[in-house]
Amino acid sequence: MRILLITETVPYPLDSGGRIKTWHTLQVLARRHEVHLHAFIRDTGAGTGAAERALGAHAASVTLHLLPPGLAREARGLARSVTANQPFTVARHWSPEAARRMADAARATGADVVYADHLSMLPYAEPLGLPIVHDAHNVEYEIVRRYAATADPARRAFAEVEWRRLRAYERAAYERCQVITVVSSRDAEHLRALGVRRPEIHVGPIAFDHQSVCPVPSRGVPDGPPTVLFVGGLHWPPNAQGVAWCVEHVWPQVTRAVPGARFVIVGRASDGQRRALEATAGVSVVGYVDDVGEWFARARAFVIPLLSGGGMRVKMLEAFARGVPVVATPVGAEGIDARERDTWLAAESPGAFAEAVGRVLGDGALAAGMRARGLRLVEADYSVEAVGAKLEAALSGVSQD
């Protein structure tokens, strides 16, 4: 098939779960199909050329659409949200020029199907008159609904309105798709609960290329102080919320039990976020790095202290693949088919979370067993090959009549 793959962000470099998922989707599709990629960039910086070259190794063509960030774009998104009756989450990604170029590309390439990667791409896909395969990275309304339940009052009012608009939009938009892929059976249940019945819903988790990383067990227990790691951008509200909860309520209990322990946070963070988090003893915010490998190599435990969110945690797969034991809230582990205690420790309250982190740091046999089982899980169920087979099965349901 000739596939027009449209996605809301350039899937390179592989520094976020969404980018990792889209990168592997492109790889899998390009093995058997002619793929024409359209993606959005936020600027035309030095990394653009490298991204085009990396993506061009798989796609038949690569087209990047500039959608610069800033208050002007957010204002246009709010205006479109009102006039087009769309959630702000969707409307903020709209560009009339990009829509015209995608329509031209669909005609010029003779595309058989449009693969809409992320909910925000459906407004671009629908006018093309092609069968739509929608890759639902998340059930978006559920993420915002959960966030609204735990957010501060200033953000809660907007989130309460937004999740209801998202739910209505998702229910209507999904009915116009021919195939929907979701990352977990839980997300599939959410869609069916919405009343989505007509499109086929396929469950296909995010792939992780475990062969590209060197697991920590091959080097033994890391030297230095007991280090606990979190990787994720704090520009995403659920990450910021979860890390703040961990630093305020969990970390003081950990350091009382394990003197000298360090909590390292790797990912985008504002100056204000950095100052607030580092005010707690033993906490350091590294910020964005090109390669997280060295930080995993220093870590004795990896934490996912999320209180809201949805979809699937690629960061959990990466910790498994790199051989670092995981402690997570139930929300933080959603989407991963891994038995708790075998591969990770679950904890919901601050006390239970701190106790679980302390166990991993203090019990070498427990940590070694978790490392080995986590790595085996990634190899068996989340490899590019295993996930790719599921995606091809989903595409087999696309009718081009």
Which segments of 266-383 does DSSP mark as H helices, in order?
271-278, 293-298, 314-321, 350-362, 364-381
Task: Give the DSSP H or E segment for 344.
Answer: strand 344-346
Q: What is the pLDDT of residue 306?
A: 93
Q: At 48, list the tokens.
A: 């653009």
The SS3 assignment for 58 reads coil
Tens digit of pLDDT for each residue in 197-252? Answer: 778 899 888 888 877 776 654 545 677 899 999 999 999 888 999 999 999 999 99
Show the low-confidence residues of the chain (pLDDT under 50).
Answer: 217, 219
Nearest by Cα to 164 from 70, 85, 268, 244: 85
Q: Which fold has domain 210-381?
A: Rossmann fold (3.40.50)
Q: Measure the CA–CA gap between 268 and 392, rounded to whole angstroms.
A: 34
User: Which segments within 89-208 are labelled E, that is strand?
Assistant: 113-117, 132-136, 179-182, 200-203
Give backbone dihedrals phi and psi of 166, rounded to 5 degrees, phi first.
Answer: -65, -40
User: Does pTM top 0.75 for this prediction?
Assistant: yes
Rounded to whole angstroms, what are the CA distances from 241 to 144, 232, 233, 253, 358? Answer: 13, 12, 11, 19, 22
Long-range contacts of 270-278 (CB under 8 A, 24+ apart): 270/234, 270/235, 273/234, 273/240, 276/244, 277/243, 277/244, 277/247
Q: What is the pLDDT of residue 196?
A: 81
Nearest by Cα to 88 from 190, 161, 172, 138: 161
Q: Measure the CA–CA gap between 290 and 83, rounded to whole angstroms.
A: 40
Tens digit of pLDDT for each residue in 122-146? Answer: 999 999 999 999 999 989 998 899 8
Q: How many residues does the chain have?
A: 401
User: Which segments within 159-242 are labelled E, that is strand?
Assistant: 179-182, 200-203, 227-231
Q: At 171, list the tokens.
A: 């229910």
Task: Give the DSSP H or E segment for 147.
Answer: helix 140-150
Bridge partner residues of 179 (DSSP) = 133, 200
Q: Measure the CA–CA gap between 227 and 388, rounded to whole angstroms.
A: 35
Q: What is the pLDDT of residue 219?
A: 46
Label residues 293-320 b or e (16+ Cβ within 10 Å = b). eebbbbbbbbbbbbbbbbbbbbbbbbbb
Q: At 118, list the tokens.
A: 């992320």
- Portions of the chain given CATH number 3.40.50.2000: 2-207+383-395, 210-381
Q: How many CB atoms lie within 10 A of CB 77?
A: 18
User: What architecture (CATH level 2) is domain 2-207+383-395?
Assistant: 3-Layer(aba) Sandwich (3.40)
Give backbone dihedrals phi and psi of 133, rounded to 5 degrees, phi first.
Answer: -105, 120
Nearest by Cα to 17 from 270, 314, 307: 314
- What's the farthest any 2 CA atoms get from each other in the chain? 66
Bridge partner residues of 198 (DSSP) = none
Rounded to whole angstroms, what are the CA distances from 370 to 26, 104, 231, 258, 321? Answer: 31, 51, 19, 20, 11
